[in-house]
Every structure is written in structure tokens, then in C-alpha cells.
Amino acid sequence: MQRLTVQPQLVDRAYGAILDEICTGRLAPGQRVVQDELAERLAVSRQPVLQALLLLKRQGFLHETGRRGLMVAPIEPVFTAHLYELRRALDGVAAHGAALRHTASSATAGRALIERGRRVVSSGDTAAMIAADIAFHRFIYELSGNKLIAETATLHWHHIRRVMGQVLREAGRLGTIWDEHEGILDAVLRGNADEAEARSRHHAERAAQALIAELTLSLEQAV
Amino acid sequence: MQRLTVQPQLVDRAYGAILDEICTGRLAPGQRVVQDELAERLAVSRQPVLQALLLLKRQGFLHETGRRGLMVAPIEPVFTAHLYELRRALDGVAAHGAALRHTASSATAGRALIERGRRVVSSGDTAAMIAADIAFHRFIYELSGNKLIAETATLHWHHIRRVMGQVLREAGRLGTIWDEHEGILDAVLRGNADEAEARSRHHAERAAQALIAELTLSLEQAV
DNA sequence: CCGAAATTTACCGTATACGGTATCCGATAA
DNA sequence: TTATCGGATACCGTATACGGTAAATTTCGG
């Protein structure tokens, strides 16, 4: 393998590719992960792969196996619960900040996202639903103006995406979440920070309960 | 350089060592960081250093310079404010969780931490004060039972440690924080989750204001 | 002297080489 | 047949080699 041209973000490419495979389930929970194999598949050397795996391990997407090497982290209800507990706090503070910072253009953008969300729900495309959900929340994170929140939350959302994908194979009743989203957005655009925060936390709470119920159910079936 | 014995966590060692140098200020904000130099200093090859730097960059301790290479991230009031905004949320949810989960033994441990904190304050040792502060909050994170919170918060505390070290060279009046800590602990041990959360958030808020005021002041003087 | 072109240097990211250890497997002895 | 030992294999982490590019520096025509 020769690589004459320099494309200096092989690590990022590897990271993104592997993360995506994990989140979409192409790399299944529990599956063993081997550097050589990934390196070949991505047409890079083991080095960038190694570095990407190191990151993914730190971020909890990969676990060490007792034996040699890594495996894709299993999906655990307890971890998911912790994830949502954190998300509740994060979403709350983000919505609070967003309400203090919203502008006219953000109003248009926000309404468009909600519009899109409702449209996608009626289309029945699960992956698109998840994407729209993420897009809305990311919008709030960015509107909050707090880079750290955006980063932290984005990381967590990859985990969430994975769980959602696992659970919502045949689309749950994700319809109602867009009413809640709209409620959050309205509060934000009215500049009512406290209400935005409360609604956000409540939304995360509800989402968590629904998801975890579904998750434990599907895990029980699997056994 | 030969390394006949295998000690398979050179990356972690490098990461820890570099992070510590950044937090203590031995590697000063703005200072250029060169792989070869660090590798030599730590007596490892460039490879583990590269990987450690990659992590530290992602975590915001290092910035890319327009030119080649990395530099130690400057200390920015805006970033610090964002940090504390996040911490406020994190501490809140941690205290809430801790209050639902406290035990008899945790009561003893908590009171001991407070005892120690007060003793350290009167000793006048700034570094020890920071350490005691961190220890108390970490105690709460761990008591919350949410691994994710503990991890996320620990990461942020490295940033906080750095700022504190920068600002509190000659020790601020850190005395009052231990009254607030005690208030939080009491609420936790009474199992009053809402009060614990509120007190925690309030504490973070106050700490942020004090620190950022001090920070902007010291930055102005520096100019 | 001064500025532009050319060359050297510094330093990075990726690929490959190397050495070590845990697992697997087949052969031999109980 | 089964347990144990020895060798082969798989796979990882670290070290080193390599190639490229931006900055620094020198050289040379004005």
C-alpha cells in the first residue's frame, strides 16, 4: 500500500467510519474488533486505526476484552439510564442558554427543523427520524452558544443514536416528541429560559423512560 | 533507545504526564508543544506522545497553531464561563443522585473530607486547597453512582484545576466554600435530593463568579 | 543594501518493522 | 480418553523509517 498524496486526517476518517459502523449496528454489540481487519477495510495502515480505537475506547464505544483486543460495547440499560440522566442536565442548561440568546434567524431555522421532523415522522423512515431528532437538539445546543455543551452532547448523542437504532427498528410512536420539541422551541423563542429548561428536562425524562422500557423489553426477548 | 521490557501503557503515562504539566503550569498557556521534545523528556518514542497529544487536543487542552504543531491552550474567560455553566448542571445532577444513594459509610467519608478541607484552608497551601476541593466534589460524583458523570466531570476538573492554579497563586479567600460544601453534604445525607441539587448549582454559580472575576482581573494585569 | 527565489531545516502524519504475550492446537504421557 | 506441555499463531503496543510541507534561512540579482 503506497500513499503518495498526503491526506492528513486519516485518524479522523477512521474514527468517523468506525463510529458510524458501531452506531448503525454494522459492527454489532459484543463483536470483536481487530486492527488489521479494519485497517485493510479502510485502506489505511494500522496506525490511524489504532489511534481511532483508542479514542473510541475512551469514549465508551469499545470495551477491552479480558483476552486480547477490543470489542464493541454491549448496550446496557444502566449505562443508557446514566446517559439520559446526563442528557437531562445538559439539555436543560442548553435550552436555558438558548432562550437567552435566540435571534430572528434562529426562529426561522428552528421552525424549519420542526416542520421537517413532523414530515419525516409521517414518512416512516426510522433512520431519518433519528437524524431529525438529533438535528433539532443540536440546534439548541449550538444556539446556547456554549461550545462545550455542544461537544459533550454531540458525543453522547452518538451513544443515543446507537441505542435508538437498536430499539426502534420498526419505528416506535415517535410522533409526540415533536409536540414537545415545539414546546421547547416556543419557550426559547419567547426568551423564557426557565420554562425552556424545565420543558427540556421533562422531554429528556420522558424520552429516557420510553427508550429504556423498550430497551429492557428487547433485551429480554433476545435472551 | 531500546526498551526491552514491555510496559504497555506508555500512552497513558505520556497523557498523564503532559496533562499534569499543563495543569500545573509547567507547560505554560500559549507555549509551543513539540513531539520530539516531549518524547525525549519522557523517554519514549514519538508514537505514544502523538497519541496522547491527539487526546489532549480533543479535550481542549491543546490548540492547533496556524503554523505547524500544537500549543498549550490559552486560558480564556469565555471558555471558563462555559466550563462552569456545564459544571453547574453536572454538579446539580450529581448531588441529586448522591442524595438518593447515600449510605452510612459515605456519611463518615464525606464528613472526613470536609474536616480535611477546613484544615487545609487554614494551612495556606494553595495546591492542597485545590486538591481538597476536587476531592470533595469527586466524592459527590462517585456517590451519585453515575459513571458517566464522574468521567465527564473529572475531565472538566482538569481544566478547572488549571484555571484555579493560574488565579489563586496567593490563595483567595477559599474559606467560605467549605461552609457551602457542608451544606451540600448535609442535604445529601438527609436524602433531600432537590435541596442538594439546588445548593450544588448555587455553589458552582458562586465559584464561577469569583473565579472569573479574579481571572479577568489577572489577565488585565498581564496586559 | 533589499527583496525574491532557492535551499535547508524542523516537524508532522502515516507506514512499516519489531518484539512480546496470550490463545490455540496438536502431540505425548497418564 | 483426557490432561499437559511445547510450538505455532494471532494480534497488540511501541519504535523507527519515510515522505511531505510550511517556516526559516541563505543566496543572488537588482
Per-residue model confidence (pLDDT) at position B118: 93
Q: What is the pTM of this model?
A: 0.89
For A79-99, write each residue's pLDDT tens digit. 999 999 999 999 999 999 999
For B45-64, write each residue's pLDDT tens digit. 999 999 999 999 999 999 99
Per-residue model confidence (pLDDT) at position B175: 62
> Strand order in B62-64's β-sheet?
B32-33, B70-72, B62-64
Per-residue model confidence (pLDDT) at position A65: 85
> Of all residues in chain A, what percent carry a pLDDT higher than 70?
92
Q: State how far the alpha carbon of B5 is from the alpha carbons of A15, A171, B2, B9, B10, in Å.
A: 30, 54, 9, 12, 12
Q: Which residues contact A68 (CB under 8 A, 6 or more apart)?
A: none
For A112-160, write each residue's pLDDT tens digit. 999 999 999 888 788 899 999 999 999 999 999 999 999 999 999 999 9
Per-residue model confidence (pLDDT) at position B171: 53
A60 CA to C12 C1' in angstroms comes to 29
Q: Which residues contact A12 (CB under 8 A, 6 or more apart)?
A: none
Per-residue model confidence (pLDDT) at position A223: 65
DSSP 8-state class, residue B63: E
Per-residue model confidence (pLDDT) at position A123: 87
Q: Does B80 touch chain A (CB under 8 A)?
A: no
Average pLDDT, chain A: 90
**Strand partners for A62:** A72
- The reply to whether B4 has its C-beta less than 7 Å from any atom of strand D is no
For A44-62, write each residue's pLDDT tens digit. 999 999 999 999 999 999 9
Q: Assess whether pLDDT exceeds 80 at residue A5.
A: no
Q: Which of A113, A176, A54, A146 is nearest to B84 (CA)?
A: A146
Per-residue model confidence (pLDDT) at position B222: 73
A65 CA to D18 C1' in angstroms comes to 34
Q: Assess whether pLDDT exceeds 60 at residue B3.
A: no
- For residue B51, the chain A residues in CB contact (below 8 A) are 50-51, 54
Of residues A212 and B183, the one with the higher pLDDT is: B183
Q: For the CA atoms of chain A, what is the radius of gyration? A: 19
Per-residue model confidence (pLDDT) at position B221: 79
- For residue B11, the chain A residues in CB contact (below 8 A) are 54
Chain B residue nearest residue A55, CA to CA = B55
Q: Which of B106, B85, B94, B96 is nearest to B196 (CA)?
A: B96
Per-residue model confidence (pLDDT) at position B39: 95
Of A55, A79, A152, the CB nearest to B152: A152
Angle between helices A126-143 and A177-190 (to 10 degrees): 20
Per-residue model confidence (pLDDT) at position A122: 87
- For residue A205, the chain B residues in CB contact (below 8 A) are none
